[in-house]
Amino acid sequence: MNRSDIIKKISELYPKLNRKEIEVIVKELFSSMASSIATGKRIEIRGFGCFSLKHRAAGKVRNPRHGVAVESGERHVVYFRAGKELRERVDVVNK
């Protein structure tokens, strides 16, 4: 599911809302989430999961395609941890 699918789904659920308004709301929501994560804040959505930053130390990484080891600098990566409700729903669907 991508952003346009989310906008479409919300417009189907709430037909009284203008599609342009929904588009602005969804874009602002994602923009706000991205800027919060970029500044090091943790985002928690109950029942869904948490987004946070993790620090990765510098070291060697291997390119799986060519098998060549390359030096990698330290960096931050976005980390997602699924909430209990999401884990349970995924587990039930995939059994």
Q: Which pLDDT tens digit goes with each residue over 34-45?
A: 999 999 999 999
Asked whether residue 47 falls in the same domain as residue 92, the answer is: yes
The total number of structural domains that make up the chain: 2
- Dihedral sign for Cα 72, 74, 78, 81, please: positive
Burial-class residue 16 by CB neighbours within 10 Å (0-12, 13-18, 19+). exposed
Asked whether residue 29 falls in the same domain as residue 72, the answer is: no
Asked whether residue 13 falls in the same domain as residue 33, the answer is: yes
The answer to whether 58 and 72 are in contact (CB under 8 A) is yes
Looking at per-residue pLDDT, the higher value among 95 and 24 belongs to 24
Residue 60: domain span: 42-95
Asked whether residue 57 falls in the same domain as residue 77, the answer is: yes
Distance between CA atoms of residues 38 and 88, nearest Å: 29
Q: Is the pLDDT of residue 94 over 80?
A: no
